[in-house]
């Protein structure tokens, strides 16, 4: 029996209303700046027991300090330490960022943590080695790790790394195939500027491509409407 979990990337409406409509959300705030543990506890306690959180790993792990997302989050990194941040570098700062990300995920009782990489994180011997050292040296517990590469990577290398490091490749089935994973994890961004509203035909195709077990998260401007339409189309209760 197919199990497709549907939700949005962040809360597009009030939490009370959202909890009545969906059983899944991907937390975006954790990418920019990790919330206090007490805030994460309130999120978990305010949600239904069967509600599921997934979350994005803190950008300190994946993105360089030159990224505009650091400025958006108000993160100020001393210039002499900028080389210790991002791109999965085997540094104290990156490993500490993982521990803090993990602590929030545990409080939320999340199953999935998404590592979204910037376009500048491209296929290179250094980046590949950084990923290997990061994912083989952290305490990953029982979490499902999802990797969303946005830079230039060959399909063969993505597949090899996902197999070797036990990662789910995050794909958008309407734009490109999911290359590896026991489950599907799909993030629908609505094109470059997030403005695309998915048509009935696209949603129907998505339902046929998602597989037997999949997370489908909408991240476009019309995410709330599109997620509700998709949920209705597939008859999902999740």
What is the pLDDT, as a whole number, of residue 179?
A: 65
Domain locations in the chain as residue ranges: 3-234
**Percent of the chain residues topping a pLDDT of 90:** 76
pLDDT for 27 equals 96
User: Does residue 45 surpass a pLDDT of 70?
Assistant: yes
The pLDDT value given to residue 222: 95
User: pLDDT-derived band of residue 35, with 50, 70 and 90 as boundaries?
Assistant: very high
45-112-173-5 Cα dihedral, nearest 10 degrees: -40
Q: How far is CA 141 from the centre of its chain?
A: 17
Lowest mean pLDDT among 27-36, 87-96, 131-140, 165-174: 165-174
User: What is the dihedral sign for C-alpha 50, 234, 204, 182?
Assistant: positive
* Burial call 58-89: b when 16+ CB within 10 Å, e when fewer: bbbbbbbbebebbeebebebeeeeeebbbbbb
pLDDT, averaged across the chain: 91
Least confident residue range of 33-47, 87-101, 173-187, 223-237: 173-187
Its CATH architecture, for the domain 3-234, is Alpha-Beta Barrel (3.20)
> What angle separates helix 92-108 from helix 125-137, to the nearest 10 degrees?
50
φ/ψ (deg, to 5) at 100:
-70, -40
User: What is the pLDDT, as a whole number, of residue 134?
Assistant: 98
- Measured distance CA(238)–CA(207) in Å, rounded: 14
- Residue 64 and residue 116: Cα distance in Å, rounded? 13
In three-state secondary structure terms, 187 is strand
Instruction: Evaluate if pTM is beyond 0.75.
Output: yes
Share of the chain above pLDDT 70, in %: 93
- 16-43 average pLDDT score: 95
Which pLDDT score is estimated for 127? 97
Per residue in 107-154, pLDDT (tens digit) is 999 999 999 999 999 999 999 999 999 999 999 999 999 999 988 999
Average pLDDT over residues 16-44: 95
Of the pLDDT bands very low, low, confident and very high (cuts 50, 70, 90), residue 211 is low
pLDDT at 1: 40
The pLDDT of 188-215, averaged and rounded, is: 82
């Amino acid at each position: 029996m197919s199990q497709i979990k549907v939700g949005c990337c962040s809360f597009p409406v009030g939490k009370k209303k959202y909890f009545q409509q969906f059983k899944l959300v991907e937390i975006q705030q954790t990418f920019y700046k990790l919330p206090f543990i007490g805030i994460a506890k309130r999120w978990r306690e305010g949600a239904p027991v069967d509600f599921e959180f997934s979350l994005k790993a803190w950008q300190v792990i994946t993105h360089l300090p030159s990224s505009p997302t650091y400025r958006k989050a108000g993160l100020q990194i001393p210039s002499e330490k900028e080389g210790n941040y991002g791109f999965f570098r085997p540094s104290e700062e990156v490993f500490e960022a993982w521990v803090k990300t993990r602590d929030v995920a545990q409080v939320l009782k999340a199953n999935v943590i998404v590592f979204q990489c910037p376009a500048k994180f491209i296929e290179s011997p250094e980046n590949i080695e950084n990923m290997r050292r990061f994912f083989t040296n952290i305490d990953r517990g029982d979490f499902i790790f999802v990797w969303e590469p946005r830079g230039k990577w060959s399909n063969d290398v993505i597949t090899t790394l996902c197999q070797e490091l036990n990662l789910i490749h995050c794909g958008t089935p309407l734009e490109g195939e999911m290359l590896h994973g026991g489950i599907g994890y799909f993030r629908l961004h609505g094109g470059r500027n997030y403005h695309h509203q998915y048509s009935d035909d696209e949603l129907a195709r998505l339902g046929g491509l998602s597989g037997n077990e999949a997370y489908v998260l909408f991240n476009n401007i019309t995410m709330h409407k599109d997620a509700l339409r998709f949920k209705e189309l597939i008859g999902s209760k999740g």
